[in-house]
Structure 1
Amino acid sequence: MNPDTTPTRTPEPPDAAVRPTVRAATPADAEAISRMRSENLLSRPLTEEWVRRTAGELAHRLTPAGDARAFVIDAPDGTMAACALGLIAPVLPAPSYPRGLAARVHLVATHPDHRRRGYARAVVGVLLDHLADFENVTLFELHTSSQAAPLYREFGFAGSPALMRMTRLSPSTAAADAQPDSTWVPPQQYADSLPRATAYVCLYVTDEDDQPLQLHSVYSPSHPWHMIGGAVDFGERPWDAVLRECREKTGMTAVGPPRLLATVYGQPRAQRPYSTLQLVFDGRRLTEAQIRGFTLDPREHDEIRILPLEQWQALMPARDFTRLHAVADARRTGVAAYVDTWGDS
């Protein structure tokens, strides 16, 4: 906490007739909040690397599914004048906090140019009200200094400045039975509740006459011919996956910039319990010499074949040809394709 949190009798800016405007922070505010913490609260400012790391972590947690809530006041020049950040955490329920949720006021900071205007009081007040009214939090905690403790006592906190606590029970909360909170869950629990999907990338390649090139699979009799591609690794960007798969499957280096031709969705099935989402990129027209330079991995493919589009229909399942035809049309027309029947029985 900073010295500005010492209470004043006139919280409004002396040069303004209205109270400061407090708004909810978004992930885009994460870097500014991290810099406010580094420059105004910490005894030793963070390095730029740590500011970026902290901002990246906070941006993720400031999403609706995250555990962070913050409120800020913007300065006239667009910079951040003040901010208050709270972190929500589950705790074992008790009569004073039947929802089993606690919030820690993690930081309150005001830029030196905007202190002694009541900004800290304003952002803290809105943060506490939001946590109580919209997040069902009834147990609040914070660590502060003896100089700032009087401000928090005004809000209802009690205890020593080293660890101050407060419970705020609304009439409806106090009367209700203790029930699990349905409006907020820890990020990992929320992630575990989401449906699973597997992402794939493909590269659509043709010869100079626009005849599609396909690779023959040695491991998938149900999909004997397909485009260059494969699954996206965890944390990998789709185009990076294209570059990797191209090198692994053919020895070729794909040429950008990325141009998306189609999005292909497949429903989960018994043999494949996850949904699939394929992003098909344009691999351009290749010369005969470029195609001759392909080096196949014999564990995955044993043949390269180039045929007119209509001749591929007899060599692959109907759903695979539907995808290939849609991708070819997308390149021809310049309009990206959307296919949501791939993999249907």
Structure 2
Amino acid sequence: MPRSRTATGCRSRPAPVAHPRVAVPEDAESIVRLRSDYVLSEPLSEEWILRCAEELAPRLTHAGDARAFVIDAGDGSIDACALGLIHPVLPAPAYPKGLAARVHIVATRPDVRRRGHARAVVSALLDHLRTEQVTLFELHSSAQAAPLYRELGFAGSPALMRMTATSPQLTVPGGRPGATSTPSAPEHYAETVPKATLWACLYFTDEDEQPVQVHSVYSPAYPWQLVGGTMDHGEHPWQTAVRECAEETGITPAGPPRLLATVYSPPGGGWPYSTIGCVFDGGRLTAEQIRGITLDPLEHDEVRVLPLAEWEELMPPGDFDRLTAVAEARRTGVTAYVDSWEWGTS
């Protein structure tokens, strides 16, 4: 069969074979520019290109959730790319590891199209994702590109096409036959577990075992509080309690830490995460120490000492139940566990 000829009658040269490679963080800007120029209906501004590139670069590392394959151009840019984003889903028999990937970008420069670049980068991407035990794939396709994706195994309408690929079970080294390995990146699993805010505080009494509490200036729904606050990054619970106590009262407890209670609260009151708290024994304060407390006026405006029973009418029921459990833990020496405390609606 004779070779095809161009309009001038000269024989056309065969297209070079495409050789995709794994994208690295340094490719992020080039990938974003291809997306801006040939995928989006409106190109991105230069500010948004740089912003998206900064977002994508760390995600292209092994610990990130993005995988991409590119074909290099001769000028240091790239001719084509396919980018996939890995995300967790609930497992099912067809995807037992609960890992899915959306093919987010497939783009080829117009001057090098019809050379197999799109097929090459998408095929390389899918093959690589299978090695990471991704078995559920999805993408949005144009009508023009749908035939290619059907050839690669996707099915469905061009608007939303999906493919479920079978994945051989991988034996865990040293494990029993049939055992399978876990996803390679801990970050993937971390995205599936509940998130929580951590706090720590101190329970003080006077020498007659009467609870000492401070009055909040910013929380009318929870007016009377133990001394403490939210944990900072890198802190341990006792460190949080000591720091917050010094900031709020001027007292620096010496320890050693003695845990009186752990407190759990589900999300609520406008806060999207659960909260988990540690209540430590702050000890018994003398009358002189109580008089010497120096409050942060931005947080509290009063220190009060009352018998336990008299606190009930000044606090929401859940707060008083928590205070009672902490006082009982101090009295008995048995650490309390409080999981019935919940945020209100105000």
Q: TM-score, normalised by structure 2?
A: 0.49
For the pair shown, the structure with the greater C-alpha radius of gyration is: 2
Which structure has more RCO (C-alpha within 8 Å, separation ≥ 6)? Answer: 1
